[in-house]
Amino acid sequence: MKGVPIFLSLVVLGLASSIASASDPSPLQDFCVAVKDSEVESALFVNGKFCKNPKDVTANDFFFQGLDKPRDTSNPLGSNVTQLNVDKIAGLNTLGISLARIDYAPHGLNPPHIHPRGTEILVVIEGTLEVGFVTSNQDENRLFSKVLNKGDVFVFPVGLIHFQFNRGYTNAVAFAGLSSQNAGVITIANAVFDSDPRINPDVLTKAFQVDKNVIENLQKHSQNPGVVTIAKAVFGSDPRINPDVLTKAFQVDKNVIDYLQKQFWVDNNN
């Protein structure tokens, strides 16, 4: 019987180790500046990247210039995300952080998306943004939403669907910090309706409970550059996501969004 507590302790330690390894690992050296595979001779491979010889590292490996400049937002979504991850700043490798600048045209949208490997903290620099995230099925797809003004901050938990919408008539700018050197991005509309090759329309017709023509239209016109049921989380959240956000994200008529929200709202609240 004395062996049981020891066994349980080992199990707990094993679980703790697996949880800890689920995020970016802590570095065992001061830094590990990433280098391209083509530049590798006798480099060390750490966290998905080869490390530059520390003797060859310079200040430029930790530097990026030009984040003060506005980005082009002349696209269907009216937004532009400039990501500063390990692919842009090699010195971020193993450090577990990254940064992004998001520019929004009037009524521009950073559409519903997830970061599978990082929590996000967003601060508004200019303008007014409507932001929100939707919880998992286990938490009944609750929507946490807020209107942010200059200087306001909001947090998006790792792996949850979230968005930002410029409610104003002027440009808006925000900066986002992420808890990973490469948090990843999965844009919901892209992933569901613009995959390569396309998902069988019969699958999406049943998932979204709409006519097949609606799905084929969404797949044809998709223009958008965790375990959560997408249809329920996006269209059946409580309270509902602003229809203007989803109309712009999915590039469809507002009546389609109204119909989908009505269908999934009923399903989620019965």
**Is 162 annotated as ligand-binding?**
yes
Q: Copy the structure tokens of residue 162.
A: 């979230």
Those residues with Cβ within 8 angstroms of residue 150's Cβ, 6 or more apart along the chain or in another chain: 124, 125, 126, 127
The rounded distance, in Å, linking the Cα atoms of 125 and 128 is 9
β-strand partners of 132:
145, 163
**Is 120 annotated as ligand-binding?**
yes
Cα-based distances in Å from 34 to 45, 86, 95, 144: 9, 8, 11, 37
**Is 221 annotated as ligand-binding?**
no
**Is 41 annotated as ligand-binding?**
no
**Is 115 annotated as ligand-binding?**
yes
| Binding-site residue ranges | 110, 113, 115, 120, 162
Which amino acids are annotated as binding site for oxalate, given as ranges?
110, 115, 120
Binding residues for Mn(2+): 113, 115, 120, 162
